[in-house]
Amino acid sequence: MRRTLTTILAAVLAVAVLGGVAAVAAAGSGGSTVTRARLERNLPGVFSNLYVQQAHLLGRTGVTPKNLHAKAMCDKHGPDVADVGPGGDWICLMSWTDPNVPMPSEGYGKFELNVHSNDCYTAAGPSKLTGFLNLTDQHGREVTNPVFEFDGCFDPATSNTATGVFYPSVLAISSPSVTPDGDGRVGPQVTCGTGSQGCAGTITARAGNTNLGTVPFKLKEESTAAVRFTTPLPSGTKEVAFQVKATDGFSSPDPVTLPVQ
């Protein structure tokens, strides 16, 4: 009897160990049902239906989920983290077609998502495209804006095949001003946002009639770096103009002028 009990106990322990190993393996391989592809498929549909509700509140006709052609690209916490699993660090870039609300130059709006393990999420988009918390409807009443912040859920059994939707990262000069170092040289901070391939290109700087040079840059998405110019500023310089030319990612064609402090 003792030998039989020992054998049964050993078998139970073996099953428990194997179960634990399997659970760890599943976690390590991104076994969550929350994935980039499922969010990219679900978010545009949920948003489109609510956007049509907003249009009706405003008295706009002819807006349908189909003619919005909404598409999304989603990312979880940057390029070094797998796009799998719940969390409040999901970003989705989404575009849609509405003649009354043109997309910005980069072609999309940025939505922040808090995604839960039950396959539901809360999304908040850019107010310059979706509006603020409240809006005035066609009858003059103040009502809640359905797309200011909204909830959605997806079916975990839906396809997890990649959607093939990609949008470029936005490269921006994030410094509010520039401060020369001991040798009179400046190095503004640049930021590369969420996107598909990061940012690369060149930045040219001018201080009045003085060309400070052209410096190449290459950044991962969702990263920041200083781009330093080797030519010192002329004495008495009050501002510096920077012109970005992107080969990867998107940058504004307009120069950015920063004060010298």
DSSP states along 140-164? S-EEE-TTTEEEEE--TTS--S---
Q: What is the CATH number of domain 171-259?
A: 2.60.40.10
| 3 confidence band (pLDDT: 50, 70, 90) | very low
Q: What is the mean pLDDT of residues 154-166?
A: 98
φ/ψ (deg, to 5) at 44: -60, -40
Q: What is the 3-state secondary structure (H, E, C) of 164-189?
A: CCCCCCEEEECCCCECCCCCCCCCCE
Please report the pLDDT score of residue 30 as a whole number: 54
Report the distance separating Cα 207 and Cα 80, nearest Å: 37
Residues pairing with 217 in the sheet: 201
Report the distance separating Cα 104 and Cα 128, nearest Å: 10
Q: What is the mean pLDDT of residues 219-235?
A: 97
**Residue for token pair 């049509």:** 52
Amino acid letter, residue 180: P
Q: What is the mean pLDDT of residues 200-224?
A: 98
Report the distance separating Cα 36 and Cα 89, nearest Å: 12
Tokens of 195: 């996107």
Report the distance separating Cα 160 and Cα 156, nearest Å: 9
Amino acid letter, residue 152: G
Tokens of 61: 């006709």
- List the chain domain ranges: 36-153, 171-259
pTM, two decimals, is: 0.85
Amino acid letter, residue 229: F
Q: What is the pLDDT of residues 60-95, one digit of tens each?
A: 999 999 999 999 999 999 999 999 999 999 999 999
Percentage of residues of the chain with pLDDT beyond 70: 89
Q: What is the pLDDT of residues 27-63, one digit of tens each?
A: 433 589 999 999 999 999 999 999 999 999 999 999 9
